[in-house]
Structure 1
Amino acid sequence: MSAVVAAGLAATTLAVAPAFAATAPLSRPEVVAHFDVTTKQQPENITVEPDGSADLTFSRARQIAHVDKDGKVTILATLPEASTGTASVSGIVRTHDGTLYVNYNAGTASGVYRLRPGGTPEQIAALPEVGSLNGLALDERTGTLYATDSKIGGVWRITPKSGAVELWASGTEFQPGTGGYGSNGIKVHNGAVWVGNTGKGTLTRIPVRSDGGAGAYETAATGLSGMDDFAFTGEGDTVLAAVNVASQVYLVKPDGTHMTVLTSADGLSNPTSVAVRAHTAYIASGAYFTATDPNLLEARISH
């Protein structure tokens, strides 16, 4: 969730449930890295390396950061300042060769940037008409990228090789709801693109047709008000969803029901994104509302 639109949600989702310790299937939550809020080190999105280290975007600082397994932070790149207004980075994904792609918001200069290992950021797709790029997902089979637009409400499809961009999915399912915020978190999983809507509290599944088009939308879950990014716990359709303002993480089951499994008592401070690798969940907290202790938390998943 970008800092620009976060304030709109604060007024509508400030109620926080009582804190309690991690709930199964999560256990042993531990904050492995603390970031500096005074230098705008507030993580927006996360992707995990094969060795268990993490790559994050610091939205307000326009930075891509690497956090090793000991919690050491290295800034990999800083994206350009906006010529007018402000700029930010949001979604991030990693390909098998270590290339990183990130969403960049800067008005008419908005687009998707690529960072190859040891290189410098380069724009590979321009999206001047975008409302607010947020989540980013990668279909590893085709190399296709999908990005959510939280203001217009929809999903953009990007082809990195050509830079081609198209509005792949749109409709009421993705448009803003409470707080003026729409489609946000996004993942490619089991032959479909899954999209969370922050303002409407829904999780929508979009099958990818054989021709690459979007199939009929399916509502996978409701009642997830304030959810930001999410990740699947494994090969099944169980989801861990970050709930930003309330500083919680939901476990969303395949039948659409959900329960709270992490809270601020475990170290969360306005969580913005979730990643899963093997038996570990990684949760990044941006501290957009608390302004205290942006961090990276890890927890064990018992399958």
Structure 2
Amino acid sequence: MFRLPRPAGVTAVTLALGLLVMTPAAGGEPSVSDPRVIAHFDFAKGQTPENIALAPDGSADLTFFFARKIVNVTRTGVTRTLATLPAVADPETPLVTAAVVTGIARAADGTLYVNYATGTRRTGIWRLARDGGAPRQIAELPADGFPNGLALDERRGVLYAADSVLGTVWRVPVGGGPRTAWATGAALAPGTGADASGFGANGLRFHHGAVWVSNSDAGTLLRIPVREDGSAGPVRTRATGLAGIDDFGFVDRHRDTVLAALLGSSEVLRVAPDGGRSVVLTAADGLSNPTAVAVRGRSAYVTSASYVEQDDPNLLLARVHQRDRG
């Protein structure tokens, strides 16, 4: 368990986590090369990039956890602020006490959705319209929870949010409205032992007709199929032993191969469909407690919040080499 001071006079919080590496890709799995940090941020100003959504032009929309901001970063590292979530007096957010912005999802028309955890009625999903303006809350989530990963299923018109404290995947209509506890159970719950962080369900992606979720305390990657009626199918474990896993991304729309951010060890792992894994990026490449991965085409983007190291929050860009699927 690591003691993490919040930046710029913010009270201390606790988060637990559990040379280019040209790792040979087995069985047609993709490889990763040419990593480079394209943007450095300021930890003291709360510029801790937590999650990422990619735009068609190759730029990245990021959430700054402590600064409560949504920013856009170009492939050349130019950063501009898109919006700031409203301040909350006396936030009582579980685990961190601060009001923090976590997961982000992007619609095809450019609308952005983010999770905001505050410990108050402002906890929930917020929308930022494509033409800008002030962000607006479209759904309230439990104040005693911690909404984290977020994903959008545009075909069904719903958002899914992983709650790290309540061990729940929430489902919310994209237009706003009442929440539904879509998936629950022990596989999504945080740990209870002395070394547990309190973070269960964390990263979340919608992929190939299923909701995929990481459980940080359990070190697992889970798959929950979406049935035809929209209900959740059985939770299946797809990989184990992923200590400190945060968010993750898929190498493309057709594969179940994942690039997973391991916050505590400052690594990105390639996780194959059979659960096998290998290290593809490390701290030597510029990672500093990575939090999320997103892939578009041949480009992989990795956010590092530097929660533990507190020296270099950044955005890294690398190349993904696709292999013959055989």
Q: TM bucket by the smaller chain? A: over 0.9
Whether the 8 Å contact between 1:179 and 1:199 is mirrored in structure 2 is yes
Q: Give aligned pairs, total.
A: 294
In the TM superposition, what whole-angstrom CA distance separates every residue of 1:196-241 from its partner, at most 9, and x where no partner exists?
A: 0000011111110111000111111111111000010011100000
User: Partner amino acid for 2:80?
Assistant: T
Please provide the CA RMSD for this pair. Answer: 1.6
Post-superposition offset of 1:84: 1.8
Matches within 5 A, 1:100-179: 100-108=112-120, 109-117=122-130, 118-177=132-191, 178-179=196-197
Matches within 5 A, 1:1-303: 7-9=14-16, 13=18, 21-24=21-24, 25-85=31-91, 86-108=98-120, 109-117=122-130, 118-177=132-191, 178-234=196-252, 235-303=254-322
* Corresponding residue SS for 2:34: strand
Post-superposition offset of 1:179: 2.1
User: Partner amino acid for 1:194?
Assistant: W
Q: 1:39 to 1:129 in 2, by over 3 A?
A: closer
- Structure 1 regions of 5+ residues with no counterpart? 14-18
User: Partner amino acid for 1:199?
Assistant: D
- TM (norm. structure 1) is 0.93
Q: 1:164 to 1:123 in 2, by over 3 A?
A: same
In the TM superposition, what whole-angstrom CA distance separates every residue of 1:282-303 from its partner, at most 9, and x where no partner exists?
A: 0000000000110000110011
User: Partner amino acid for 2:21?
Assistant: A
* Corresponding residue SS for 1:282: strand
In the TM superposition, structure 1's runs of 4+ consecutive aligned residues that sit over 6 Å from their partners are 3-6
Identity rate, percent: 52
User: Partner amino acid for 2:64?
Assistant: F
Post-superposition offset of 1:130: 4.7
In the TM superposition, what whole-angstrom CA distance separates every residue of 1:239-285 from its partner, at most 9, and x where no partner exists?
A: 00000011000100000111111000000000011101011110000
Q: 1:252 to 1:95 in 2, by over 3 A?
A: same
- TM (norm. structure 2) is 0.87
User: Partner amino acid for 1:106?
Assistant: T
* Corresponding residue SS for 2:77: coil
> CA separation in 2, counterparts of 1:210 and 1:200?
29
